[in-house]
Amino acid sequence: MCRRYTRSKRDSASRSNCVDATLARPVTLGERINGCRARRQKAEAWRPESAELLALEAYVALQSRGLPIAPPDDPRLAPFRARGEARYRQRIGQLDLACAQCHDDHAGKRLGGSPIPQGHPTGYPVYRLEWQALGSLQRRLRGCYGGVRAEPPPYGAIDLVELELYLATRAAGMKVESPAVRP
């Protein structure tokens, strides 16, 4: 379980991607919450993007607000992190674009009137004005897939989890600012 990576309740969101022993793969904060609900509370897991799950993710993340993002340095995460980085650099979709092309090469410029961020996941879950609701990083990633005209993976897909892990690694040391507000 992920407990050994969490020094305290206050920094649990800053270390959200860890290896789940049961699944033998990294899990997101939402998956950790649902795993706890199912295994320890014997409760039904909440569906991805449900108001209940996002609210609890936001509450947990708020406890880490201001702390540095600190992805675990667990060697078991290395292959997942490497696949996440490869996915970040891989061209996809009908527009044949990679995440790196927008978020590295064109960060700070504008796309459709909105600034292109560097792609650091410091504020998730986030309230996005375009959604008029709270949403997860996976929702944003799936939106990017659609934006380049690629088939988005389903919520919880290992592709998205690996990409989240890599993005957290890129943001290591940056302050958690969740829940944040974005355009």
Spatial distance between the Cα atoms of 43 and 154, rounded to a whole number of angstroms = 23
Which pLDDT score, from 0 to 100, does residue 16 have?
A: 57
- Reported as a single tens digit per residue, the pLDDT across 108-127 is 999 888 888 999 999 999 99
The structure tokens listed for 160 are 């998205």
Domains and CATH numbers, the chain: 3-182 (1.10.760.10)
Burial 7-25 (b: 16+ CB within 10 A, else e): eeeebbbbbbbbbeeeeeb
Tell me what pLDDT residue 114 has: 83
Res. 4: pLDDT tops 70: no
**Residue of 2, 99, 102, 144 marked active site:** 144
- In the three-class reduction of DSSP (H, G, I as helix; E, B as strand; rest coil), residue 176 is classed as coil
Distance CA 105, CA 132 (A): 29
pLDDT digits (tens, 9 = 90+) for 24-77: 899 999 999 999 999 999 999 999 999 999 999 999 999 999 999 998 889 999
Active site residue 144: yes
